[in-house]
Structure 1
Amino acid sequence: MNKSDKLLKDLIDANLYSRYSGLLSLSNISLQLVDTCGRILLEFNPSPDFCKRICQDDETKVCADCFSRFKNGRAERFTCRYGLVNIILPLEINQQTVGFVIGAQVYLPDSEYQKYLIDITSLAKEKNLKPEYIAKSIAAVKTVEPNKVEIHEQLCNHIAKNIAYEFSHSLNNTEKAIARLSIEKEMLERKIIDLEAKNMSLVINPHFLFNTLNTIARIAYFEKSHTTEELIYCLSDLLRYNLKQDDELHTIGNEVDNIEKYLYIQKVRFKNRLEYEIDMPDHIKPYRIPNMTIQPIVENALIHGISPKRDGGIIKIYAEKYKDDINIYVMDNGNGFPKEVLDNLHQTESKLGIGLRSTDKRLKQYFGEQYGLKIVKSDYSGSTVTISIPTKPNVRR
């Protein structure tokens, strides 16, 4: 290992990811640090499964399309053979390229059609993979607006410059300590703080918001804009329900009413790309469940399952009582959850926030380890997630 390679490794060992976590929160598009041989040293944001497991011959190295551009040693944006936009930014030290920051790996709206031209059958034979897996991986590749790609490219550029600065500082000093921050990075972090402050200033009194929404709804009523009126009332009810911060158990009936309003709004948005069915027996509605338990699962089904499908799909919610337990099912016929979502569900530390893992933890805290959330099925034909609770809970809060 030469001195340059060792210093790049030292940078990563020195918690490189944590030092840029503030900047990385601005984008969830792929961003990686690689050496001049194409080896992936660090994934700031992971690349799509399609790139990682199908395009790349080795998951630890970039694909041939990307590596062929390394020879130029210059920054560029290029479109790969499958139509994905890629960004390459060299790490330059003393006019020598010591590595690259690469990112994007997304479709633009104008080029999204190219994903439907990929020969899935040939790829399946070539890679010895199931066609369903390849189709699911293609469908999961993000489509991003050009302005967001521009912002992501700026982010990549800032990170590349700062890594080059730290690398240069280490290369020119015999001490092993690596510079923590460059002046430019400090300026960027101050910008993030400024943005957060601006967001804080946008907080609106909830009562003012609800009153305003209701006023707009009444205007829509008098103007005979009944769909608009219904949407506003649904949104107002959703916001009011979601703002409840108490730790009390709510009835399943109340939860389902909230979900119906959420899906109604999404139905207006997605039109014929979204259908939904809710079958909640009356004898189950009085049982109690933690607030906002079902919605994260429905939201995940919509985002990860239905939304990526060109023709959309259907979400079904139903429940049944079995002995002393109640099982609530959320089903969809979408693309299934991405691999990282399934992996994160079983990790001690998860990035899913208010998503699947936190919902599972809340249920277990209330009712015990034998209850909670379970992904019964998640594949190309869709997903099924269950929530299990006792009919006679011995609440553990």
Structure 2
Amino acid sequence: MNKTNKTLKNLVNSNLYSRYSGFLSLSNISLQLIDTNGDILLEFNPSPDFCKLVCQEDDKRICSDYISRLKSGKGDRFTCRYGLTNILLPVDVNKQTIGYVVGAQVYSPDSEYQKYLIDIMAIAKDKKLEPEFIAKSIAAIKTIEANKVDIHEQLCNHIAKNISYDFSESINNTDKAIARLSIEKEMLEKKILDLEAKNMSLVVNPHFLFNTLNSIARIAYFEKSHTTEELIYCLSDLLRYNLKQDDELHTIGNEMDNIEKYLYIQKVRFKNRLEYDINIADDIKHHRIPNMIIQPIVENALIHGISPKRDGGRIKIYAEKYKNDINIFVMDNGNGFPKEVLQSLQQPENKLGIGFRSTDKRLKRYFGDCYGLKIIKSDYSGSTVTISIPTKPNARR
């Protein structure tokens, strides 16, 4: 790996996502960073399920329509074979393209009719997926007005330029972090004001919240309060992820990143009374699951299992793959669920069980009645809850 590729990888592995958290709240349209070969380095906002499961070779590589248009220094806005609007913008450093910011993957009001021309049965046969799943993924593709796509393109362009700046700073090994933060803050504020002036329908409250949190984080950075800075970035990411109430599937890796931020915040609160361990193999992380499935279970383990215990306890999350199934385990060594909570899970009229039942129903709706959520153990030695999903969307028994 050459110095350029290594530095770009290190940049992605840093808190690149957190730096743009407030800015990204302006749009929930697909936005990703890819390298010059078309491999996905970072998902700021995920692609539609249709693009991931039908158009892409796999979760780690952008679709062939994008790859055919990767030209050094060249940006593009194009319509793919299925009629979706796509954006492609280069990330240039010293007149060399090191990657691309891509996104949109939406229909316009004028092209929305093309979703009804897609041959669902042919795709289902080719991809070995259920026709029902293909139809559902097509229906979930967003239709966005042209002016909002224009705004999203401005976001992509601004992020591409800022990544170029970050990369230049990293490749030259210079220590300009404080200066960069000040410049970036100024640029973001000006761009946000410009975008808000052009489209007053943008959601203000979440954006205001994320921007405020990130501003506080920057102050903590200047004051060298690194724990406070990290807490605020984690909270900002956590809130934004929780606000994604879409009906799309997210990767298990993304879900675990969100849970790790949640547990990090709780660890600061509980200190030595909480320990946690997350162990998910890389070959499981790319599989997809409805968003916000795992966190409520972890939260219940903390509230009902760990919190009442004087010495606290440990939460362990791991996953196992067996044939066509994946089982995710959430274990704790707390006091177990109270008797009334366990009873409530069997009583539809009792509100205490709503979270578990709704989670189970969501999983069954996506994957079939053989999958879902189970409490396989709950006593004074702790609790174990499992989530079962198929390795493939059509792996229904």
TM-score by length of structure 1 reads 0.53
Superposition deviation, residue 130 in structure 1: 1.2
Rg bigger for which structure?
Answer: 1
Do residues 372 (structure 1) and 358 (structure 2) align? no
Q: Secondary structure at the match of 1:368?
A: helix
The residue type paired with residue 342 of structure 1 is P
Aligned equivalent of 1:313: none
The residue type paired with residue 159 of structure 2 is I
Aligned equivalent of 1:342: 290
Aligned equivalent of 2:24: 24
Aligned equivalent of 1:124: 124
Q: Deviations over 1:135-158 (max 9, x none)?
A: 111111111111110110111111
Aligned equivalent of 2:186: 186
Superposition deviation, residue 8 in structure 1: 1.1
Say if 2:72 and 2:90, in contact at 8 Å, map to a contact too: no
RMSD: 3.6
Say if 1:133 and 1:380, in contact at 8 Å, map to a contact too: no
Q: Which runs of 5+ in 1 are unaligned?
A: 201-299, 306-338, 351-363, 386-397
Q: Quick one: structure 1 residues 110 and 128, their matched pair in 2 at CA, closer, same or farther if it must change by over 3 Å?
A: same
The residue type paired with residue 103 of structure 1 is G
Q: Percent identity?
A: 61
Alpha-carbon separation, structure 2, partners of 1:115 and 1:56: 17
TM-score by length of structure 2 reads 0.53
Superposition deviation, residue 4 in structure 1: 1.3
Alpha-carbon separation, structure 1, partners of 2:82 and 2:296: 36
Say if 2:73 and 2:95, in contact at 8 Å, map to a contact too: no
Aligned equivalent of 2:78: 78
Aligned equivalent of 2:168: 168
Aligned equivalent of 1:272: none
Q: Secondary structure at the match of 1:181?
A: helix
The residue type paired with residue 372 of structure 1 is I
Q: Quick one: structure 1 residues 174 and 158, their matched pair in 2 at CA, closer, same or farther if it must change by over 3 Å?
A: closer
Q: Deviations over 1:291-327 (max 9, x none)?
A: xxxxxxxxx7xx859xxxxxxxxxxxxxxxxxxxxxx
Higher mean C-alpha displacement, 118-127 vs 108-117? 118-127
Alpha-carbon separation, structure 2, partners of 1:143 and 1:179: 40
Superposition deviation, residue 176 in structure 1: 11
Do residues 62 (structure 1) and 67 (structure 2) align? no
Q: Deviations over 1:267-300 (max 9, x none)?
A: xxxxxxxxxxxxxxxxxxxxxxxxxxxxxxxxx7
The residue type paired with residue 347 of structure 1 is Q
Higher mean C-alpha displacement, 11-20 vs 167-176? 167-176
Alpha-carbon separation, structure 1, partners of 2:297 and 2:150: 31
How many residues are aligned here? 236
Alpha-carbon separation, structure 2, partners of 1:19 and 1:349: 29
The residue type paired with residue 17 of structure 1 is Y
Superposition deviation, residue 73 in structure 1: 3.5
Higher relative contact order (CA 8 A, sep 6+): 2
**How do residues 318-329 of structure 1 correspond to structure 2 at under 5 angstroms?**
none
Do residues 147 (structure 1) and 155 (structure 2) align? no
Aligned equivalent of 1:279: none
Q: Secondary structure at the match of 2:87?
A: strand
Alpha-carbon separation, structure 1, partners of 2:4 and 2:177: 15
Q: Secondary structure at the match of 1:38?
A: coil
Alpha-carbon separation, structure 1, partners of 2:178 and 2:366: 45
Say if 2:32 and 2:101, in contact at 8 Å, map to a contact too: yes
Aligned equivalent of 1:315: none
Q: Which runs of 5+ in 2 are unaligned?
A: 206-244, 249-286, 299-336, 346-352, 373-397
Higher mean C-alpha displacement, 1-10 vs 21-30? 1-10
The residue type paired with residue 344 of structure 1 is M
Superposition deviation, residue 186 in structure 1: 2.7
Superposition deviation, residue 190 in structure 1: 6.0
**How do residues 29-40 of structure 1 correspond to structure 2 at under 5 angstroms?**
29-40=29-40
Alpha-carbon separation, structure 1, partners of 2:36 and 2:79: 20
Alpha-carbon separation, structure 1, partners of 2:53 and 2:59: 6
Q: Quick one: structure 1 residues 179 and 47, their matched pair in 2 at CA, closer, same or farther if it must change by over 3 Å?
A: farther
Aligned equivalent of 1:324: none
